Amino acid sequence: MGEISVVSPERPWKVGLAVVAGVSFLVLGSVLDVVTGVACFLLAWRLAATKVRVTPSLIEDVRLFRRVSWARDQVVDVVVGRPGGLWAGQCLVLVLADGTEAALLASRAYSRFPIGSHPQRLAAMAGQLRDALVTQPS
């Protein structure tokens, strides 16, 4: 099995918003606006890199500023849940062999208008990752 990647259903919206903000700050033209515009483009670049990656040996959550990974043999199931803490919305959650749960924050999505279909897309992504875990190499 090769490597698979899944991304948040909201990633295009987040990247697009950061790009639009960057362009609008650059068009305004003052020095502070140019710096803010460049920062928005850097944010868009980092947002475009977020994903959940499954390799033959691990599951990696590539977040905005860091990467978190778990060995595939530690993961029992993948479900859709709430990340808890400061984070709102829903995301994919790994159920680990020791009974703990780990939220894959790179897959986080919200279910408010106009993006009410995102929880269904998260459920489909959970099924895709669950299938990838079943075909885990021995």
| pLDDT surpasses 60 at 117 | yes
pTM across the whole model: 0.80
Distance, in Å, from the CA atom of 61 to the CA atom of 58, rounded to the nearest integer, reads 10
Question: How many residues comprise the chain?
Answer: 138
Burial class for 4, CB neighbours closer than 10 Å (0-12, 13-18, 19+):
middle
Report pLDDT for 1.
55
List, in sequence order, every residue forming a beta bridge with 79; answer none if it has no partner: 93
CA-to-CA distance for 84 and 96, rounded, in angstroms?
Answer: 17
* Mean pLDDT, all residues of the chain: 86
Q: Which residues pair with 53 in a beta bridge?
A: 5, 60
Q: Which of the four pLDDT bands, split at 50, 70 and 90, describes residue 105?
A: confident
pLDDT in tens, 12-70: 888 999 999 999 888 887 777 888 889 999 999 999 999 999 998 999 999 989 999 99
pLDDT value at position 111? 65
Query: What values do phi and psi take at 5, rounded to 5?
Result: -135, 140
Share above pLDDT 70 across residues of the chain, in percent, rounded to a whole number: 91
| Rounded distance between C-alpha atoms, residue 87 and residue 99, angstroms | 21
pLDDT(113) > 70: no
Could you tell me whether strands 51-54 and 58-62 are parallel, antiparallel, or unpaired per DSSP bridges? antiparallel
Residue 18, classified by CB atoms within 10 Å of its CB into exposed (0-12), middle (13-18) or buried (19+), is buried
Average pLDDT of span 88-107: 89
Burial class (CB in 10 A: 0-12, 13-18, 19+), 8: buried
Minimum mean pLDDT range among 27-31, 101-105, 119-123, 126-130: 27-31
Neighbours of 9 (CB within 10 A): 20
Query: What pLDDT sits at residue 28?
Result: 81
